[in-house]
Chain A
Amino acid sequence: MTLIQDIIANYNYWITIFLMVAGLYIVVAKSNMIKTLLGLAVFQTSVYLLYLSPGKILGGTPPILDPNFTVYSNPLPHVLILTAIVVGVATLALGLALVVRVHEAYGTIEEDEIMDVVDRDDHAG
């Protein structure tokens, strides 16, 4: 019984950590820049979960005040994450714009191939 309770108490954290580690793995292991940016997005959404999960109160309702309810989930993480999501998409767009410019300059979006081009130019010049 206590094992099941342990799993329930920590399941959100474990999935959060899994998503975070998956994002980290994509960023470290993949050399494709768009894939790396999507990995960063996964990393970022895991942080959303990390903030929102502890703010949930079982049996509570969303924090919109109403005389019929007394228990509300914590509103503060919602505020922080709400702004973080929109800022996240703006910075993702900035990253994608940089990738597009890199592709125009080097003809590839693989970091390894870009390094090849840079090395060749160094030797040539």
Chain B
Amino acid sequence: MELLINMVLLTLLAAITIGIIRVRNLFAVVVLAGAYSFLMASVMMVLDAVDVAMTEAAVGAGISTVLALGALHLTKTEEAAPRYSAILPLFVAVGTGAMLIYGTWGLPGFGLADTPMNTGVGLDYLNRNMAETGIPNVVTAVLASYRGFDTLGEVAVIFTAGIGVLLLLKRFQREG
């Protein structure tokens, strides 16, 4: 059942992506991107990433949709017709995809517990966490405690991006 829900949601995700590529009205594209984010949040839910799903639902479907609509309001909502043929980009994309798909035969299957990834540091965090931090949500413990430096860097990146947007868009009062 888990597998079936996972596969259906992923198929819908791929269908919406085709819509995002083909539709030329940018307003429709932004709304499709919102639907894409909600579907992505559902997929993350099925993949047991509840914290990530909550963030994606609030960020992807909420805030980034609003920001993209704001940018559309300040620019224009219709994409121009393409000037060049799409053959070369399509060739590049299909070639890259074919090579990557060839690579998937070397990867471990879906949902297995004994892969190198799932027996390594992640399992270590799960085993040590309760004794060392006493916080049941391992994601919070790893985020704020074990990988605190990492998170400090991410917060600094968010801060920097915010300052950049303010510098670009804020109307500063001219003095004199």
Q: Is the CB of A78 within 8 A of B51?
A: yes
Q: How many A-B residue pairs have CB under 8 A?
A: 270
For chain B, residues 44 to 88, give those with C-beta under 8 angstroms from any C-beta of chain A: 44, 47-52, 55-56, 59-60, 63-64, 67-68, 70-72, 74-76, 79-80, 82-83, 86
Q: When chains A and B are docked, how far (Å) is the Cα of A58 from the Cα of B7?
A: 14
Residue among B3, B94, B100, B136 having the largest count of chain A Cβ atoms under 10 Å: B100
Instruction: Summarize A's interface: helix, strand, loop or mixed.
Output: helix
CB nearest to A76 among chain B residues: B122
Instruction: Summarize B's interface: helix, strand, loop or mixed.
Output: helix
CB nearest to B129 among chain A residues: A65
Q: Is the CB of A75 within 8 A of B126?
A: yes
Q: When chains A and B are docked, how far (Å) is the Cα of A65 from the Cα of B140?
A: 12
Given contacts A34-B75, A45-B40, A97-B164, are A79 and B93 in contact (CB under 8 A)? Answer: no
Which residues of the other chain, A, contact B138 by a CB distance below 8 angstroms?
63-65, 72, 75
Q: Is the CB of B118 within 8 A of A54?
A: yes
Which residues of the other chain, B, contact A92 by a CB distance below 8 angstroms?
64, 67-68
Q: Is the CB of A38 within 8 A of B33?
A: yes
Partner of A77, one of B3, B49, B89, B165: B49
Q: Is the CB of B93 within 8 A of A52?
A: no
Chain A, residues 1-33, CB within 8 Å of chain B (1/0): the string is: 000000011111111011111101110111110
The distance from the CB of B113 to the nearest CB of chain A, in whole angstroms, is 5
CB nearest to A33 among chain B residues: B75
Counting CB contacts under 8 A, is B172 at the interface? no
Partner of A9, one of B13, B110, B142: B110
- The interface size bin for chain B is 35 or more
Chain B, residues 4-17, CB within 8 Å of chain A (1/0): the string is: 00110011011001
Chain A, residues 29-70, CB within 8 Å of chain B (1/0): the string is: 111101100110110010011001111111011111110000
Partner of A55, one of B20, B47, B89, B154: B47
Q: Is the CB of B117 within 8 A of A74?
A: yes
The distance from the CB of A15 to the nearest CB of chain B, in whole angstroms, is 4
Partner of A25, one of B21, B50, B71, B118: B21
Q: When chains A and B are docked, how far (Å) is the Cα of A82 from the Cα of B74?
A: 30
Q: When chains A and B are docked, how far (Å) is the Cα of A57 from the Cα of B20?
A: 31
Q: Is the CB of A24 within 8 A of B20?
A: no
Q: Is the CB of A14 within 8 A of B43?
A: no
Q: List 13 A-B contacts (CB under 8 A).
A: A12-B10, A31-B83, A32-B79, A34-B29, A49-B43, A56-B111, A57-B48, A78-B52, A86-B59, A87-B157, A89-B63, A96-B70, A100-B74
Q: Known pairs A39-B20, A42-B33, A83-B151. 8 more at Cβ < 8 A?
A: A28-B92, A42-B17, A64-B50, A65-B138, A71-B113, A75-B139, A79-B139, A113-B80
